[in-house]
């Protein structure tokens, strides 16, 4: 399989992660042990959309500057996603709250898969950019 095809598939999966994260965290009582502020979700969504657009423009063309900008937005999206994962850290103390589940899944499995997968995908994007 050619590396371009892997990058195309990972790009589509990254777009799905950005959209599903926005949908999943748009509710007031999103799953997790802690609430996530709207700011980090907005950063994740905005950088994800900008990353997707610039990265697709880079893949269609060959402008290296657009590729670097796309990678920068992918890295910002990934960092925001990893920060979003912090909502699953255990709480301790007298006023600690129990984890909330939602209709998407029970526990952090889907979030971990999506955001660790995004991290690996962005590593592959970076390798692809450097090797191209």
Residue 49, in any domain of the structure: yes
Across 26-65, b (16+ Cβ under 10 Å) vs e yields eeeebbbbbebeeebbebbbebbbbbbebbeebbeeeeee
Structural domain boundaries, residue 110: 3-23+41-89+105-131
Assigned domain for 19 exists: yes
For residue 84, the model assigns a pLDDT of 83
Mean pLDDT of the chain: 83
Residue 55 scores a pLDDT above 60: yes
Instruction: Give residue-wise pLDDT tens across range 80-91.
Output: 998 888 876 666
Average pLDDT (55-59) is 96
Please provide the size of the chain in residues. Answer: 132
Residue 30 counted as domain residue:
no
pLDDT for residue 119 is more than 80: yes
Mean pLDDT for 47-53 is 97
Tally the domains of the chain. 1
Residue 122 lies in a domain: yes
4 CB burial (10 A radius; 0-12, 13-18, 19+): exposed
In a domain, 29, yes or no: no
Residue 38 has pLDDT above 90, yes or no: no
**Is the residue at 8 inside a domain?**
yes
Q: Please indicate, yes or no, if residue 50 is contained in any of the structural domains.
A: yes
DSSP, res 95:
T
Answer whether residue 96 is part of any domain: no
């Amino acid at each position: 399989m050619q590396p371009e095809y892997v990058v195309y598939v990972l790009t589509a999966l990254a777009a799905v992660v950005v959209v599903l994260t926005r949908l999943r965290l748009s509710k007031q009582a999103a799953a997790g042990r802690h609430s996530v502020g709207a700011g980090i979700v907005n950063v994740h969504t905005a950088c994800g959309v900008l990353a997707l657009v610039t990265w697709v423009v880079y893949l269609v063309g060959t402008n290296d500057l657009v590729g670097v900008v796309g990678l920068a937005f992918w890295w910002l999206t990934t960092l925001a996603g990893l920060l979003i994962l912090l909502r699953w850290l255990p709480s301790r103390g007298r006023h600690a709250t129990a984890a909330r589940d939602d209709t998407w899944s029970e526990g952090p499995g889907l979030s971990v898969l999506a955001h660790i997968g995004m991290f690996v995908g962005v590593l592959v994007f970076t390798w692809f950019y450097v090797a191209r």
